[in-house]
Amino acid sequence: MTGENVATPRKRRKPVKQAQSAGGVVFRRVGADVEILLLKHEGGKWMLPKGTIEAGETPEAVALREVREETGLSNIRVAGDLGQERYSFFWRTEGTLYNKTVRYFLLEFLGGEDARPQREEGFVEADWVALDDALARIKYKETREIVRRAQAALNTPDLMPQLAGEEGA
Protein backbone atom coordinates (compact mmCIF):
# COMPACT_ATOMS: atom_id res chain seq x y z
CA MET A 1 0.00 0.00 0.00
CA THR A 2 2.93 2.29 -0.36
CA GLY A 3 2.06 5.58 -2.00
CA GLU A 4 -1.70 5.09 -1.76
CA ASN A 5 -3.91 7.67 -0.12
CA VAL A 6 -6.26 5.93 2.22
CA ALA A 7 -9.21 8.07 3.22
CA THR A 8 -10.11 7.86 6.85
CA PRO A 9 -13.49 9.00 8.06
CA ARG A 10 -13.30 12.35 9.86
CA LYS A 11 -15.78 14.15 11.96
CA ARG A 12 -17.08 17.13 10.08
CA ARG A 13 -15.94 20.31 11.76
CA LYS A 14 -18.51 22.90 12.70
CA PRO A 15 -18.09 26.27 11.02
CA VAL A 16 -16.33 28.88 13.18
CA LYS A 17 -17.16 32.57 12.86
CA GLN A 18 -15.39 35.54 14.38
CA ALA A 19 -17.63 38.19 15.94
CA GLN A 20 -16.61 41.69 17.04
CA SER A 21 -18.74 43.72 19.44
CA ALA A 22 -18.43 46.72 21.72
CA GLY A 23 -20.22 47.82 24.84
CA GLY A 24 -20.05 49.84 27.98
CA VAL A 25 -20.02 49.89 31.74
CA VAL A 26 -22.30 52.86 32.35
CA PHE A 27 -21.80 54.44 35.77
CA ARG A 28 -23.27 57.27 37.79
CA ARG A 29 -22.41 58.88 41.09
CA VAL A 30 -24.96 58.88 43.90
CA GLY A 31 -23.37 60.97 46.64
CA ALA A 32 -20.10 59.24 47.50
CA ASP A 33 -21.24 55.97 45.92
CA VAL A 34 -20.96 54.68 42.37
CA GLU A 35 -23.61 52.60 40.61
CA ILE A 36 -23.49 50.86 37.25
CA LEU A 37 -26.35 50.04 34.92
CA LEU A 38 -27.19 46.39 34.29
CA LEU A 39 -29.73 44.93 31.90
CA LYS A 40 -31.74 41.82 32.71
CA HIS A 41 -32.54 39.58 29.77
CA GLU A 42 -35.83 37.68 29.63
CA GLY A 43 -33.76 34.52 30.21
CA GLY A 44 -32.88 35.86 33.67
CA LYS A 45 -29.24 36.79 33.12
CA TRP A 46 -27.90 40.24 33.99
CA MET A 47 -25.54 41.82 31.47
CA LEU A 48 -23.90 44.95 30.18
CA PRO A 49 -25.10 46.75 27.05
CA LYS A 50 -23.18 45.63 23.96
CA GLY A 51 -23.65 44.97 20.27
CA THR A 52 -22.09 44.10 16.95
CA ILE A 53 -19.58 46.39 15.26
CA GLU A 54 -20.87 47.14 11.76
CA ALA A 55 -18.66 48.03 8.79
CA GLY A 56 -17.22 51.53 9.15
CA GLU A 57 -18.01 51.86 12.87
CA THR A 58 -15.46 52.35 15.62
CA PRO A 59 -15.76 50.32 18.84
CA GLU A 60 -16.32 53.55 20.81
CA ALA A 61 -19.18 54.65 18.53
CA VAL A 62 -20.76 51.18 18.80
CA ALA A 63 -20.57 51.27 22.60
CA LEU A 64 -22.38 54.62 22.67
CA ARG A 65 -24.97 53.45 20.11
CA GLU A 66 -25.68 50.21 21.93
CA VAL A 67 -26.12 51.96 25.27
CA ARG A 68 -28.55 54.37 23.61
CA GLU A 69 -30.49 51.57 21.89
CA GLU A 70 -30.55 49.06 24.76
CA THR A 71 -31.07 51.48 27.68
CA GLY A 72 -32.52 54.66 26.17
CA LEU A 73 -29.64 56.72 27.62
CA SER A 74 -27.81 59.16 25.37
CA ASN A 75 -26.47 61.68 27.89
CA ILE A 76 -23.23 59.76 28.43
CA ARG A 77 -19.56 60.31 27.78
CA VAL A 78 -16.60 58.00 27.34
CA ALA A 79 -14.44 58.08 30.47
CA GLY A 80 -12.02 55.27 29.64
CA ASP A 81 -11.20 52.09 27.75
CA LEU A 82 -11.67 48.86 29.74
CA GLY A 83 -10.15 46.52 27.17
CA GLN A 84 -11.65 43.33 25.77
CA GLU A 85 -13.33 40.15 26.83
CA ARG A 86 -13.19 37.02 24.69
CA TYR A 87 -15.39 33.98 24.76
CA SER A 88 -16.83 31.27 22.53
CA PHE A 89 -20.35 29.97 22.17
CA PHE A 90 -22.21 27.55 19.95
CA TRP A 91 -25.30 28.84 18.11
CA ARG A 92 -27.43 25.74 17.69
CA THR A 93 -29.84 27.08 15.09
CA GLU A 94 -26.91 27.93 12.79
CA GLY A 95 -24.74 24.97 13.78
CA THR A 96 -21.92 27.49 14.18
CA LEU A 97 -19.24 28.08 16.79
CA TYR A 98 -18.58 31.77 17.45
CA ASN A 99 -15.35 33.23 18.80
CA LYS A 100 -16.44 36.60 20.12
CA THR A 101 -14.39 39.62 21.17
CA VAL A 102 -16.11 42.49 22.97
CA ARG A 103 -14.35 45.83 23.57
CA TYR A 104 -15.71 47.68 26.60
CA PHE A 105 -15.60 51.34 27.57
CA LEU A 106 -16.21 53.05 30.88
CA LEU A 107 -19.12 55.42 30.22
CA GLU A 108 -20.26 58.16 32.57
CA PHE A 109 -23.98 58.89 32.74
CA LEU A 110 -24.44 62.66 32.96
CA GLY A 111 -28.05 62.57 34.14
CA GLY A 112 -31.42 63.87 32.99
CA GLU A 113 -32.81 60.61 31.58
CA ASP A 114 -34.43 57.41 32.82
CA ALA A 115 -33.09 54.05 31.71
CA ARG A 116 -35.55 51.94 29.70
CA PRO A 117 -34.71 48.37 28.69
CA GLN A 118 -35.03 47.58 24.98
CA ARG A 119 -37.81 45.00 24.99
CA GLU A 120 -37.32 44.19 21.28
CA GLU A 121 -33.93 42.72 22.22
CA GLY A 122 -35.40 40.73 25.12
CA PHE A 123 -34.40 43.05 27.94
CA VAL A 124 -36.99 43.21 30.71
CA GLU A 125 -35.26 45.37 33.31
CA ALA A 126 -32.60 48.08 33.63
CA ASP A 127 -31.25 48.53 37.14
CA TRP A 128 -28.64 50.84 38.70
CA VAL A 129 -26.66 48.76 41.21
CA ALA A 130 -23.59 49.07 43.41
CA LEU A 131 -20.45 47.50 41.93
CA ASP A 132 -20.41 44.64 44.45
CA ASP A 133 -24.07 43.87 43.70
CA ALA A 134 -23.27 43.89 39.96
CA LEU A 135 -20.49 41.36 40.49
CA ALA A 136 -22.92 39.12 42.38
CA ARG A 137 -25.62 39.36 39.69
CA ILE A 138 -23.44 38.80 36.62
CA LYS A 139 -22.91 35.10 35.96
CA TYR A 140 -20.32 35.27 33.16
CA LYS A 141 -16.77 35.42 34.57
CA GLU A 142 -15.46 37.41 31.58
CA THR A 143 -18.08 40.11 32.16
CA ARG A 144 -17.36 40.17 35.91
CA GLU A 145 -13.72 40.82 35.00
CA ILE A 146 -14.76 43.86 32.93
CA VAL A 147 -16.76 45.18 35.91
CA ARG A 148 -13.70 44.64 38.13
CA ARG A 149 -11.63 46.70 35.67
CA ALA A 150 -14.27 49.44 35.84
CA GLN A 151 -14.15 49.28 39.63
CA ALA A 152 -10.36 49.63 39.59
CA ALA A 153 -10.53 52.56 37.16
CA LEU A 154 -13.15 54.30 39.29
CA ASN A 155 -10.92 53.88 42.34
CA THR A 156 -7.80 55.25 40.60
CA PRO A 157 -6.93 58.70 42.02
CA ASP A 158 -5.55 59.94 38.67
CA LEU A 159 -8.90 59.24 37.01
CA MET A 160 -11.08 60.70 39.74
CA PRO A 161 -10.82 64.42 38.75
CA GLN A 162 -11.64 63.53 35.13
CA LEU A 163 -14.60 61.40 36.20
CA ALA A 164 -15.85 64.08 38.59
CA GLY A 165 -16.49 66.27 35.53
CA GLU A 166 -13.99 69.02 36.32
CA GLU A 167 -13.72 71.86 33.85
CA GLY A 168 -11.61 71.04 30.81
CA ALA A 169 -12.14 67.29 31.15
Domain coordinates of the chain in residue numbers?
Answer: 16-163
C-alpha span between 130 and 36 (Å, rounded): 6
Q: Which residues contact 159 (CB under 8 A, 6 or more apart)?
A: 79, 80, 153
Does 1 score more than 80 pLDDT? no
* pLDDT tens string 52-108: 999 999 999 999 999 999 999 999 999 999 999 998 888 888 888 889 999 999 999
* pLDDT tens string 138-168: 999 999 999 999 999 998 766 544 444 443 3
Lowest-pLDDT range, 5-9, 105-109, 129-133? 5-9
Does 10 score more than 80 pLDDT? no
No. of helices (H) and no. of strands (E), the chain: 4, 7
Does 114 score more than 60 pLDDT? yes
16-163 has which CATH code?
Answer: 3.90.79.10
Q: Which residues contact 74 (CB under 8 A, 6 or more apart)?
A: 67, 68, 113
Task: Tell me how far the alpha carbon of residue 92 is from its chain's centroid.
Answer: 22
